[in-house]
Structure 1
């Protein structure tokens, strides 16, 4: 619809320029006016301001002026209507788009909130897309929103504002990632978010080491220091380059390149009679390999034995090629 409006505007401007050129050349050729007088006569005629003519007009010039007035009235009226329609239509489209986004956010459950859409926020969104995890981004930079709004749900505003967090659906959210560049701002976001949703799992970015403890005290469940992780990663590439490169390959996700999956035991229990990892038999069923087990209390077991007894509310971590992971998700209808 915007493209249609733009084509109409281009047509309106073309017609206005055309009528001005017709007037100038008409007075120049018919009335023998010089260029300045021809422009003057054209402007006062098409705008109908009522100023006097440069000099008395003959009958031919008068007829030409009548035709020019009629043409200019219709063309300028058309141009005004098109511009008005475009402005009102653009506003209406923006309102409809905002209403659609609001309805979509209101329908979300257990989604993720991302506060800030800088480098870390973009990386987080790409990872969540790979796992098809619904998320909403809170960003106050309108230019950034306009650049990505076709693919991502945005709420425009300051993440420190409780009303903005509520608009983003914090009461129904499961996770919050605050990836703002300033530690103090992240601290206020964590405090506000924890107040609005006691069960929310909050992950905060931190730049300074002494900010980590404060963010945890404020209510963050996990605090990530991207600079520290980056330094550790570079050092690891020196001491064990092949292993780190292999781990990087595992962690690279795209639409069809997910290599790791975390699955709740309940996703299997509804479809299989499974008391142990051996009963799951994921290797033969899907090709995936179980490389980790998470106990209900949060304890991690790496490379668990096949006879390990499964407990309710526990999870398994599986490794596989993208097609094997897809087969696993499809077989057990894992969302």
Structure 2
């Protein structure tokens, strides 16, 4: 208990206490100077008289006789009582506040200790708020860490959300929390240097922790990766990607086809032949409305050839792809971007000669109905 009290005293704010002590010193100087010049005492007796009067001890060995001496003694005594009461009240109030904070912090740590699985979110800004909302919607346990006290106070806590007002860089407790019970550490501050230090702090003590970090600047992505981040998300890149897609909406084609995995390269040759880019592939599982999406983003035929050779030399990966095609009954969609509509018309015509085209620009709901019928048949 003694160690805890000493720890609380060490971290207690000294602003008001320091001001109180300065005021006591100023009043003591006033008392000494007044005793020397008004009471006519020597220096030692002036110090003695000032202290005893401020403390209202009043041994009675010195009596004020004149009017000005009585006024001086009265002001010194009243100021001493008021000032000492103020200082002790501030110390007591501040101590009680810190005791409350310590107790609150202890309760939060007990809550964290009882969590089986949780996510750590470092930085609660515009990006962090979106991340927290997504995690809360999925009823996940989250520990939010932010050094801004006002920001922490604005976050609503619950049995699934614990908010810690701490600096993730200077405090090692984040490294302690990123243990085997932690699903992922999400670093979302707006400062890449801060993100870098947080990643380094965690990675030094937790080599197996899964760390996802935000990168505000494209040039810092490689640094964050070297520091140990498993995944890096850049709003600049994702924002630019979304802007590109919105700008190409008139020249995007979603074509739903049916063919085996062995015809992948032949199909890709036709797409690249017309100068189009294969953005992604969606695999439609019968009865499930949301497809499995695989991003490709290439128009380079060499990459398609390289992938074909990879499948030929890796049996496990090839079998997994073949099984995926069997599950989806060979039905999948390609999102393709191209220069204009006439190019798409030529592309569709060439694809029709080699594979079965189920539909063009179908919605996921429409495709789900078609695959459901195939599955039932």
TM-score normalised by structure 1 residue count: 0.47
TM-score, length of structure 2 as denominator length: 0.43
Higher Cα Rg: structure 1 or 2?
A: 2
